[in-house]
Structure 1
Amino acid sequence: MPIRLGTGDLARYPFLNEAGEYLRQSGFGWEELDRPDMKDIIERAADRIRTGVDGRVYDKLDRYETEIITFLVTLIMVKSIGMEPALKKYALAEARRAEKFLTEDLKKQNEAQKRALFEKIFYDLFGLAIDVTEDGRLFKVKATDYLMRSSHFHEQEWKMINRLVSKGHVYLDADETVRLVRSELAVLITSRVHAMSLPALPTAIKDKAEELRTALAPRYEYRAHAVTEYPPCIKHALEVMGRGENLPHSARLMLATYMLAIGKSNDEIVEMFKSAPDYNERITRYQVEHLAGTKGSRTKYSVPSCDKLRTENLCFATSDCAGIINPIQFGRRRK
């Protein structure tokens, strides 16, 4: 029996194919966005992008039809802006928004509604089969699917040894189930923007996209000149962040401890991580202060050795690295 989605569902999950079909059936066309009464849609789309790039979750859901159109306008607008770091941060914010709604739905809906969500979102989009336990409180996923998706999580609770496993399935609560596909959803949104070919855009969208591009440009200007004098491992980490990609935990630790060792302030280091798609200022600041020895254990962390970085695939040594055993020594001999 086919699953019927209402406008409320499509407003919460506008990345579903049914959202585009809904707009086609309603007769919506891009040229309509130049009408004066559509100004609100343009402003909402710009606000949605600004909110996402700032690492916050856009949570408006007061008008279902409006939010469906707004999401599709944001895709066109962020494509027009043409900044990969901004796109990555926006896509992750949209994934977090969907994560919030999915978690709420899985906690309050009945079993039939939960199964419908699993089929439409988890299976249709990501090929992930999930089932509900008999009491409706937990969800189970095949161990192979779990391992494939949890392997890049660094928290100890995601290790298989710390999970409830039975008959080849891993059992999860609602929050954990949704977290499992967050990164895939961000990739899905990013790939859709990459695949888009821009139509002849209404003037209102082009003007707003140019306004956003001008406002966002200063955030990324430092990358063009900030990575030239660093050791190759640090330079590589900064370049990865400059592309709007996430660094693994070990690379973040390396980067933060190195910057602390050369005298960068906590504020400067926190600002440096701002382009990471999953940036959260409160968490980043705490982690930097913990590494600096001003929070937590009060132990100041040292920069990992070159041997340690090699074992973690973080070493990108060049001939200029000859004779050093720690990145902090880079360049001293030449000087």
Structure 2
Amino acid sequence: MAIKMGTGDLAKYPFLNEAGDYLRQSGFDWEELDRPDTREILERAEERLRTAVAGNVYEKLDRYETEILTFVVTLIMVKSIGLDPVLKKYALAEARRAEKFLSEDLRRQSDAQRRALFIKIFEDLFGLKIDVTEDGRLFKVRVTDYLRRSSHFHEQEWKMINRLVQAGQVFLDADETVRLIRNELAILIINKVRGMSLPTLPNSLVERVEQMRAELTPRFEYRTQVVTEYPPCIKHALDVMNRGENLPHSARLMLATYMLAIGKPVDTIVEIFKNAPDFNERITRYQVEHLAGSKGSRTKYSVPSCEKLRAENLCFATAECDGIVNPLQFGKKRANKK
């Protein structure tokens, strides 16, 4: 089924192959970026990348053709800068941007238009077949497809026991349907950048790239945390952070409360989370201070029990755990036996 994508669609979903076709047909040449009248494209590309680096989502969608070009130029910037943490932060921000537009489109489009979007984005790109309920209010995916994707989520609402399931299909609303593919969207963009061959870049773009690389390198070189003295669940969380990957909310809560409980200062804990692709210092600092009881409700949060961590698939117990009931007890039982 052929689907005609307009420039508005391509501006919202510029990772589609049709966006590349559009640029080739437009006859755009990289040397054009040295012209004064294309300066806005470079400025928006830099803004798009800086917004992602700050842990936020680039919202602009006022000039479709410009935004399609901006996306491609930003990919070139990320590739040229060559910092893996920047790539992961950018990919996640672009996935969240597309997720926002997809959710909006699915809620307001007609059934025929919804199915067209599903075929193009969900099924063609990710092999995820989506059906729409008769009243058009909910969406259905196969149980196997749901489980494969939701297994990365640790929030209670994603567990199968809390979902409506019928005839081998799981029912979801628009936001939940799109959330299922956020990680795959981010991986798609990461692979797109890694697979790119850099063209000969115009001077105006080279200058911006070199300036941003010099600025971002000291900020985004991975900050490796020593993990030898921690319980396995905390070691695992720190390993994930050291790889520059995202932790689910429940794992972040575990890690932050554990570090607070052993006396780590807020600044040190915020530093631990800086490797996360979605890191936002202001939000992270407030959340850690909230858990410490110095902000918000003024209630200090406790470290989750081992039982709770097992229920949320966050337990990686070894023989050294020796029957403890809370990560804070790790190592203390052996010490007491000596």
TM-score normalised by length of structure 2:
0.84
Range with greater deviation from structure 2 (235-244 or 151-160): 235-244
Range with greater deviation from structure 2 (61-70 or 242-251): 242-251
How far apart, in 2, do the equivalents of 1:245 and 1:316 lie?
27
- Deviations along 1:42-66, whole A, 9 cap, x unmatched? 1111110110111111011111000
- Deviations along 1:111-151, whole A, 9 cap, x unmatched? 11101100110011001010111111111111111111111
Deviation at 1:156, TM superposition (A): 0.7
Which amino acid is 2:113 matched to?
A: Q
**Residue 12 of structure 2 corresponds to residue 12 of structure 1:** yes
Deviation at 1:277, TM superposition (A): 1.6
How far apart, in 1, do the equivalents of 2:275 and 2:218 lie?
12
Which amino acid is 1:301 matched to?
A: S
Gaps of 5+ in 2: 321-326
What is the match of residue 110 of structure 2?
110
Deviation at 1:219, TM superposition (A): 2.1
Deviation at 1:284, TM superposition (A): 3.9
The verdict on how the C-alpha distance between 1:180 and 1:57 changes in structure 2, with shifts beyond 3 A counting, is same
Maintained 8 Å contact 2:86/2:220:
no
**Residue 305 of structure 2 corresponds to residue 301 of structure 1:** no
How far apart, in 2, do the equivalents of 1:135 and 1:126 lie?
25
Aligned length: 322
How far apart, in 2, do the equivalents of 1:87 and 1:232 lie?
30
Identity of aligned residues (%): 68
Deviation at 1:296, TM superposition (A): 5.8
The verdict on how the C-alpha distance between 1:271 and 1:197 changes in structure 2, with shifts beyond 3 A counting, is same
Maintained 8 Å contact 1:237/1:251:
yes
Range with greater deviation from structure 2 (149-158 or 248-257): 248-257
Give the secondary-structure state (helix, strand or coil) at the position aligned to 2:245. Answer: coil
What is the match of residue 77 of structure 1?
77
How far apart, in 2, do the equivalents of 1:215 and 1:167 lie?
54
When the two chains are superposed, the root-mean-square deviation of aligned CA atoms in Å is: 3.0
How far apart, in 1, do the equivalents of 2:317 and 2:75 lie?
34
- Deviations along 1:148-181, whole A, 9 cap, x unmatched? 1111111111111111111111111111111111
- Deviations along 1:203-242, whole A, 9 cap, x unmatched? 2222111111122223235726x53886585666445324
How far apart, in 2, do the equivalents of 1:235 and 1:206 lie?
40
Gaps of 5+ in 1: 318-323
Maintained 8 Å contact 1:85/1:242:
no
How far apart, in 2, do the equivalents of 1:254 and 1:72 lie?
38
The verdict on how the C-alpha distance between 1:145 and 1:29 changes in structure 2, with shifts beyond 3 A counting, is same
Question: Where in structure 2 are the equivalents of 1:70-149 lying within 5 Å?
Answer: 70-149=70-149
TM-score normalised by length of structure 1:
0.85
The verdict on how the C-alpha distance between 1:33 and 1:196 changes in structure 2, with shifts beyond 3 A counting, is same
Deviation at 1:264, TM superposition (A): 2.6
How far apart, in 1, do the equivalents of 2:235 and 2:157 lie?
32
What is the match of residue 273 of structure 2?
273
How far apart, in 2, do the equivalents of 1:243 and 1:16 lie?
28
The verdict on how the C-alpha distance between 1:112 and 1:282 changes in structure 2, with shifts beyond 3 A counting, is farther
Range with greater deviation from structure 2 (144-153 or 209-218): 209-218
Maintained 8 Å contact 2:75/2:193:
yes
How far apart, in 1, do the equivalents of 2:192 and 2:22 lie?
18
Give the secondary-structure state (helix, strand or coil) at the position aligned to 1:66. Answer: helix
